């Protein structure tokens, strides 16, 4: 069974430096099968490719943004899946399930054939939890030792909105975070929905997302 692995290896350079140069996957001999390597809190994390039910959720969100554009050719947002996000300010590198960028940024990055986006390029980031890596997508657990997560990393680098789809049956639901506090690495909760309810993203997106087909991961 595929599981997440967190790295504590001796590398020829920092995990972030190798990740941003595109060398970390090759050094770790990661198979080209959808396995993802990210740098979270300065440590590399290897996660298996998402299962079909997981992958369907970003596709549903992307279709909602496409429907908004078809209804209004001037709609200013584009949703893109599985891009490399370089968080140079904190020395991390993520591969979000989805990001939402302006039409101008979308056109610019396609023309440049960019390898990475940066937090200032994004308006919204989407993560869908898996059983192997959910703790990295959520807010840090406060206790004796607080490890950074992607939630805190997005906040620290100023990503305006973070949509978290949690497929854990113990806390199933969708949460929209916003108003990032970069100094503290925290967000405010702007909206919460249960699976089966329609997620209505407010301005500047003004888009409705059906969650009828979304289900918990297999326990």
Can you give the CATH number for the domain in which 178 is found? 3.90.1570.10
Residue 28 lies in a domain: no
Bigger pLDDT: 32 vs 104: 104
pLDDT for 193 equals 98
**Per the domain annotation, does 8 fall within a domain?**
no
94 is a domain residue = yes
Rounded alpha-carbon distances, angstroms, from residue 130 to 115, 137, 174, 205:
25, 9, 14, 26
At residue 218, the pLDDT reads: 84
Q: Alpha helix (H) ranges present in 73-217? A: 103-112, 134-137, 150-156
- The 10s digit of each residue's pLDDT in 140-161 is 986 555 789 999 999 999 999 9
Domain that holds residue 127: 51-209
Whether residue 5 lies inside any domain: the answer is: no
CA dihedral sign, ordered 120, 142, 128, 189: negative
Write out pLDDT tens, residues 1-52.
444 455 556 788 999 999 999 999 899 888 888 889 999 999 999 988 889 9
Give the number of domains in the chain.
1
Note if the pTM is more than 0.75.
yes
Of 153, 148, 167, 155, the residue nearest 215 (C-alpha): 167
* Position 114 in a domain: yes
């Amino acid at each position: 069974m595929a599981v997440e692995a967190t790295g504590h290896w001796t590398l020829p350079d920092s995990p972030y430096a190798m990740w941003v140069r595109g060398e970390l996957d090759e050094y770790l001999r990661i198979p080209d099968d959808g396995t993802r390597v990210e740098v979270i809190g300065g440590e590399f994390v290897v996660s298996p490719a998402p299962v079909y039910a997981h992958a369907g959720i970003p596709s549903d969100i992307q279709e909602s943004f496409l429907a908004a554009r078809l209804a209004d050719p001037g709609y200013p947002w584009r949703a893109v899946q599985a891009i490399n996000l370089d968080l140079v300010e904190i020395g991390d590198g993520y591969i979000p399930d989805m990001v939402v960028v302006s039409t101008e940024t979308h056109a610019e990055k396609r023309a440049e054939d960019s390898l990475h986006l940066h937090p200032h390029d994004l308006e919204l980031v989407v993560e869908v939890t898996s059983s192997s890596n959910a703790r990295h997508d959520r807010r840090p657990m406060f206790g004796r030792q607080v490890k950074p997560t992607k939630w805190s990393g997005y906040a620290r680098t100023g990503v305006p909105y973070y949509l978290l789809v949690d497929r854990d049956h113990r806390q199933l639901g969708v949460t929209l975070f916003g108003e990032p506090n970069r100094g503290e690495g925290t967000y405010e909760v702007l909206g919460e929905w249960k699976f089966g309810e329609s997620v209505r993203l407010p301005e500047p997106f003004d888009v409705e997302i059906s969650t009828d087909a979304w289900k918990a991961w297999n326990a």
